[in-house]
Amino acid sequence: MPLTFTRSVAGHRGRAPLADLPLMLVAPALFAANMVAARWAESAAIPPVFLAFGRWALAFAIFFPFVAARVRAHRALLRAHAPDLALLAVLGMGLTVAPQYIGAQETSATNVALIFAACPALVALIEALVWRAPVGSVRAAGMSLAIWGVLLVLTRGDLAALGRLAFGRGDLWVLGAACAWSLYTVLGRRRALGALPGEVKLAALIAGGALALAPFAALELASGAVPDFGDGRLYAALVFLAIVPSLGAYFCYDRLVERVGAAGASMSMYLIPLYAALAAWPLLGEVPAFFHVAGFALILGGVALAGLQKRR
């Protein structure tokens, strides 16, 4: 049965801005699942680049049979947009994921979340410098409110703890991943790919990401970093990553970019560290504290306020 995911952007311009709020809440929850699963995968000693490659390769194997007919029907458009699709795949599926997994081995989850919380500012900066897009006072206010919520959660209510954060080699890997994600967000909005159905575009990006990572995963294996193929946790991690933060999260985020724009969609990134902290409650036995509740209120308010920004 053919899948049809994405409608024309123009068909949504008359919708109320807050109609997109549910999507702004769901997309970051799916991305947060990536961080939790990646931390869990470390117990199985899965090499980071292999993990990144494996998730995209498996995601393509799962997804392609459902969209093969539509991919063949749009092969001419795929060839015409091949350079743009390749660039987006390298940025969003390659340079965002593998460096994040590499960096997570050498830095704290707090630092990872804090660095990725800077993505909305990077997106707004890129659009302002390259395309001279105004940030807007409402969106700026929402960004400010949300970032205070993020900092409140990350510092466990002690904002003075920010002065004690140290940035090492792992943090630089994650910073590179955050920059790649910001570029992916902006270019995903700016590149003229609207004629491609959403599922066809997603299949092409997933395939491109797997192909881009394949040689680096092979080099990693050749260096001696070989996963234990007899460990069931390897396959559990790959299946989860392929379905939830790969197919689910990227589709939701790309659709959000189409509906509210790159800067508006990037505001949802503020919810990722909060969701990750909440997931640690049932999985790791960490009970949420008052600063979680206060941070959630600030972040949710900031995301809602940003959603009120008039679309360009």
Question: How many whole angstroms separate alpha carbon 34 and alpha carbon 249?
Answer: 9
**What pLDDT score does 306 carry?**
67
Q: Residue 51: which of 216, 203, 184, 272 has the closest Cα? A: 216
Question: How many whole angstroms separate alpha carbon 230 and alpha carbon 249?
Answer: 29
**What pLDDT score does 272 carry?**
82
Question: How many whole angstroms separate alpha carbon 302 and alpha carbon 263?
Answer: 13
* Sign of the C-alpha dihedral computed for residues 197, 246, 238 and 288 taken in this order: negative
Q: Give how far Cα 89 sits from Cα of 117, 189, 309, Å.
A: 22, 14, 29
**What pLDDT score does 308 carry?**
66
Question: How many whole angstroms separate alpha carbon 201 and alpha carbon 151?
Answer: 35
Non-local CB neighbours of 128 within 8 Å, separated by 6+ positions: 134, 135
The answer to whether the predicted template modeling score (pTM) of the entire model surpasses 0.75 is yes
Specify the residue for token string 């007899």.
Answer: 230
Domain locations in the chain as residue ranges: 18-307
Phi-psi region of 139 (alpha: psi -120 to 50; beta: other; left: phi over 0): alpha
Positions in the chain short of pLDDT 50: 1-16, 310-312
**What pLDDT score does 116 carry?**
80
**What pLDDT score does 238 carry?**
93
**What pLDDT score does 286 carry?**
60
pLDDT (tens digit, 9 = 90+) per residue, 122-177?
787 788 778 877 777 887 787 778 778 777 776 767 777 777 666 678 878 988 89
Q: How many CB atoms lie within 10 A of CB 125?
A: 15
**What pLDDT score does 165 carry?**
64
Q: Give how far Cα 299 sits from Cα of 147, 215, 264, Å.
A: 7, 39, 14
**What pLDDT score does 140 carry?**
79
